[in-house]
Chains A and B, each alone.
Chain A
């Protein structure tokens, strides 16, 4: 059951991928999932790879349609992508033919609610927020992968979305950069107070970032458990939070739950011997 007043209501979503030809079987990737998300909440979708969590997030973005069920954003049914649902991808997250500043500025290109001067001010503001002012004139393939993801985050925020959808945005980065960006994202979100749906299969990342973790089973995705991280790790998080007992306990708990699902995924992928 979903609450009528929820900011984002994921209501009884099922997704079946129809086969391309008659020899293949239809694959159910999401099985009757309902989630209510409050405004300003940082929600992490955690699950084994290929479980359908990304598909579900893309549906919130209007980039994928459900077989049954519906998604509502601020009471309005999601029927397609638009500027209210911002998206940060893992790869190809920014345009190589534009500089850092131009990429961020591109986020405002199709807004007609602000004038040109205001667009420039907003773009500069977000460029500063992600700490890239010194790299304004650099083409994005002249900067590091971590900086590129910061460009994508700034561009998406500049568009002024209601919800920020992040599809394993730090998945391709090395461990140190990833940790730094996670920390930066917490800081950015503290000032922006955006509703965020963040997809990952990295347990530590989930525990560190989330207000709320939703754990998905192996395919077809169903919710196996929900964790309110604030109940276990109170207060503002810093990199030191990762050294605390509370963090360890929660991480181990989530890790154990995910291990079971990972094993199930491997079994699903195993070829059937006739």
Chain B
């Protein structure tokens, strides 16, 4: 394992080195946390020991209902995310393929994109109530309008030559979209989906804190009322771990499936 690449400007490192460094970073981070809490640099009431957080997580799962909270949160995220995806990909592609779609939708999407999603929560609750629909809507608002512009950009970046190769081989518009445009943009679109999925979690916690009686956000918020810092941190940690694992899985699939990159 050569370490020189790590210290040279714009150097290279092997994936094994990267993995080892990631583990070192996590150990270092947890070690620092442990030390700060252990020596009381920050009072343990505010910063509990990592072991206490783990113990709290165990209590929440064994004695409480935290597993079903996790489950419902994951369901909400994926339901809203998939809804965004199935709407954003076709619309994004049509926006870049036909000027009429692009010129009509872009200004509105740009406007909505700039609205802060938390500001829409009260309105969405008035419209849709406090059941699942309003939570899905919050997540959808936060991701769809961003994603559709990213997809439109991906489609626009497909080289003109690729499309013209299709035409000169006798392909129809529909075949060019399916066999060439969609296929050419896929790697960068999957990357954009991965990033957007992360945003879903942010909006989920907001939605669950404001109005919910289940989910990770709700669990975190109700523990706060009793100043149960270890439980609050355990909830946050759970979101982080789910995010990290999902992200790594998608990256891995990306590498496997797009081996030509």
Interface residues, chain A, with chain B CB atoms under 8 Å away: 61-63, 80-83, 85-87, 89, 91-93, 95-97, 106-107, 109-111, 139-142, 155-156, 159, 161, 165
* CB within 8 Å for A63 and B167 given contacts A97-B184, A97-B258, A109-B179: yes
Q: Which of A61, A92, A107 contacts B159 (CB 8 A)?
A: A92
How far apart are the CA atoms of A161 and B170 in the complex, in Å? Answer: 10
Q: List residues of B whose CB falls within 8 A of some A CB.
A: 159, 161-162, 164-165, 167-171, 175, 179-180, 183-184, 186, 258-261
The 6 closest A-B pairs by CB, nearest first: A83-B170, A81-B167, A92-B161, A139-B260, A110-B170, A92-B159
Question: Measured between alpha carbons, how far is A91 from B180 in the docked complex, in Å?
Answer: 16
> Nearest chain A CB to B228's CB is how many angstroms away?
51
For this complex, 23 residue pairs linking A to B, each with C-beta atoms less than 8 Å apart, are A61-B168, A63-B167, A81-B164, A81-B167, A82-B168, A82-B170, A87-B165, A89-B164, A92-B161, A93-B161, A95-B165, A95-B184, A97-B184, A97-B186, A97-B258, A107-B169, A139-B260, A140-B260, A141-B260, A155-B165, A155-B169, A161-B168, A165-B168
The answer to whether A110 touches B167 (Cβ under 8 A) is no
Known A63-B168, A109-B169; 17 more pairs at CB < 8 Å? A61-B168, A63-B164, A63-B167, A81-B168, A82-B167, A82-B170, A83-B169, A86-B169, A87-B164, A95-B165, A97-B258, A140-B260, A141-B260, A142-B260, A155-B165, A159-B169, A159-B170
Q: Using a Cβ cutoff of 8 Å, how many contacts connect chains A and B?
A: 66
Which of B161, B164, B168 is close to A83, meaning CB atoms less than 8 Å apart? B168
In the complex, chain A residues whose CB is within 8 Å of the CB of B260: 96-97, 139-142
Interface of B is mostly: helix
- Of B159, B164, B186, B259, which is in contact with the most chain A CB atoms at under 10 Å from its CB? B164
Residues of B with C-beta under 8 A to A106: 169
Residues of A within 8 A of B183 (CB): 95, 97
Residue of B168, B170, B175, B184 contacting most chain A CB atoms (<10 Å): B168
A2 to B232, CA, bound (A): 84
* Closest B residue, CB atoms, query A141: B260
Residue of A nearest to B257 (CB): A97
